[in-house]
Amino acid sequence: MKHIIIFLLATAFSVAVCGQTKNVTGKLSTTDTADLTILNIFPDSFPNVSVVFKAETRKGEPVWNLTKEKMAVKENSQPCNVVSLAQISKFKPINLGMVIDHSGSMLGEGVYATDNNGKILYWLDSNMNPISPEDYKSPLGNAKAAVKTFVGTFNTKKDFISVIGFSDQVYEVLPPTQDLTQINALVDSMQAVGSTAFYDALINGIEEVKKADGVKVLVALTDGQDNSSKAKWNEVVEIANKAEVPVYIIGLGNVNSDTLSMIAKSTNGQYYYTNSSSSLNVVYQDISKHVQAFYELVYHSPNFASADSTRQIALSFEVDSLYLVTNPATKKLPAEVVAHLAKKEREKQYPLYGGIALIVLVAGGTIVYTWQKRKANPNQHI
């Protein structure tokens, strides 16, 4: 089986960080370190090769405004032309999946008083001041408002958004769409009832995200511990990694943060926790900042010789006093690459006979890819 094997070594590199783009803020200091995670590799019509990655400081802030002029690429020690370097939000489609918990606990948080028939008379805020039911904003109400604001930050002329609503099972499924009116209507229709089948909902969300092309991301909200799923959390991780879908999770209130954090971390996503639904809008804004700071680098390969079975590709960054630290990871060769190579072989425009493995090394401020060809049966599909 063909794989992209990523060996990542800690190293220093330098980049000038300029002003921010819209909705993205933050600062870098000379003591910051950063994690680089490669999310996808796409063939942008060979000899152009596209690499999608995210770069974040160890404090969790994205590294943005990297520039084409501050990067260099070498293939087999030959300098390559960097065609482009841009934030994903500008050009490449983002396929965003939203998973929303509307279990019974999303009806209310905090203390409330009832009459003899169980009807809620008033809620108490954090200062123990009474709030009438008409003025009270439920966790689900706050979640709905935050989600609608969040999806509105994406460019629906190129991006697709799917929605999963769940409680004791998955009840709402909206396939990838660019229709914000349809998305908002489905979100508004959700009612707080039932228990929590979070893991099953995550798997459903991943399946929807897989349906559209582009960079895939799943953002999920839950306010309780899973007590109704058929799937286990480790199955979610396995399915997400196979589909190359990073999972961003928001835990609200009484949740198992250890498990939720493990799912997010194991899928190259991130975990957020808040004990108040009133802060959900801020959390979703931060996730939007991270997702829209993904980068796509496209370079032009100068080597068309099929006799070269190994190609070593080096990407170097110039960043001022910033340290790159990334853990070893293994990725399967994206299906887009396989399809692209098969098409080029049929057209006899790209005479490689086998699979491709890409080996990524970081050393001395350089990311190195090794492009390895293996011999194959002429009748074997790539």
Strands 247-252, 215-222: pairing is parallel
pLDDT band at 339 (very low <50, low <70, confident <90, very high): low
Report which of 267, 201, 259, 258 is spatially closest to residue 233, judged by C-alpha positions: 259
Q: What is the pLDDT of residues 46-90, one digit of tens each?
A: 678 777 777 777 777 777 767 888 777 777 778 888 899 888 767
Sign of CA dihedral 145, 151, 155, 156: negative
pLDDT band at 212 (very low <50, low <70, confident <90, very high): confident
What's the start-to-end Cα distance of the chain, in Å?
Answer: 10
Dihedral pair phi/psi, residue 208, rounded to 5°: -70, -40
Q: What is the pLDDT of residues 105-123, one digit of tens each?
A: 898 766 667 777 777 776 7
**Element spanning 317, H or E:** strand 310-317
**pLDDT at position 346, please?**
66
**pLDDT at position 317, please?**
66
Task: Kindly list the strands in the beta sheet with 120-124, ordered across the sheet, starting from the edge strand earlier in the chain.
Answer: 111-114, 120-124, 130-131
| All domains of the chain in start order, with CATH | 33-89+295-336 (2.60.40.10), 94-109+137-293 (3.40.50.410)
Query: How high does pLDDT run on average in the chain?
Result: 75
Q: What is the pLDDT of residues 120-157, one digit of tens each?
A: 776 776 667 777 777 778 899 999 999 999 999 999 99
Q: What is the pLDDT of residues 152-178, one digit of tens each?
A: 999 999 999 999 999 999 999 999 999
User: Rg of the Cα trace of the chain?
Assistant: 23
